[in-house]
Amino acid sequence: MKYKWLQKQNNEKLIVFFNGWGMDENIVSHLDCGDYDVVVFYDYNSLETDIDLPLYKEKYIVGWSMGVMVSCLEETKQIREGAKSYIAVCGTPLPVNNDYGIPEKIYNMTIRGFNELSSKKFVSRMFTEKTIPETVTKRTLDSQKSELIQLLKYQVNDGVKFDKVIVAEKDIIIPTKNQLNYWSKTDTDITFIHSGHCPFLLYNKWAELVEICKRV
């Protein structure tokens, strides 16, 4: 995994963000960090990382899309240890699944037909807003495609308990219905938002996401 510190100022509170497939820090670079240190993990072609996280008084885990699954893996256990709250955004721990994630046929078709045009189409389908950021990621097409393939190889663990989940009412990437199929089996508190798969344009600050956790 690669990572990028959006803010590292020896604050008492840390937000660990597990990004979605194909993304980098640009997708959330507009969010104000406030009094939180914030680190973004992305590019899951490998799960190895050289990060050495300091101890924080409070740690919050936020997983988005494929990042929900990655935040649950055994390989990321050390990163999430000691977290005060876990929040899932527009995703489930089973993101490639006919009932609980992206239907397998669609995912495999995405791999086979992946190119520059389909990448741009995917980005446009993530949003419901008429105006979207010009640059949401600077990842290469080769890196994105290999990540699609690699994500299928990870041993999914759906035993991690989330405190809160945000479900977008108009998610056509990981269908809203499939997300609800998964989370309705748990006692996780669900917040519905009027958005597409990428809801971050609705927010200005990371604290807005963490406050959802604190209200549980």
| 188-216 average pLDDT score | 87
Mean pLDDT for 129-139 is 87
* Verdict on whether the full-model pTM lies above 0.85: yes
First to last CA, the chain: 30
pLDDT of the residue at 211: 82
Q: Mean pLDDT, the chain, as a whole number?
A: 94
- Percentage above 90 pLDDT, the chain: 89
Strand order in the sheet with 164-168: 2-7, 36-42, 13-18, 58-64, 85-89, 164-168, 189-193
Banded model confidence at residue 214, pLDDT cuts 50, 70, 90: low
CA distances from 43 to 54, 142, 151, 166, 174 (A): 22, 12, 10, 22, 19
Summarize pLDDT for 53-96 with one digit per residue, the tens.
999 999 999 999 999 999 999 999 999 999 999 999 999 999 99
pLDDT confidence of residue 213: 59
Mean pLDDT of 164-186: 97
User: Is 216's pLDDT higher than 50?
Assistant: no
Structure confidence at residue 157 (pLDDT): 79
**What residue has token string 């089996």?**
185
The domain spans of the chain are: 2-214
Which band of pLDDT confidence, cut at 50, 70 and 90, is reported for residue 181?
very high
Q: Residue 137: is its pLDDT beyond 70? A: yes
Q: pLDDT digits over 23-41, tens only? A: 999 999 999 999 999 999 9
The domain defined by 2-214 folds into Rossmann fold (3.40.50)
Give me 104's structure tokens. 């397998």
Assigned token pair, 152: 């299928």
Distance of CA 184 to the CA centre of its chain: 20
| Cα–Cα nearest to 209, from 16, 70, 47, 53 | 16
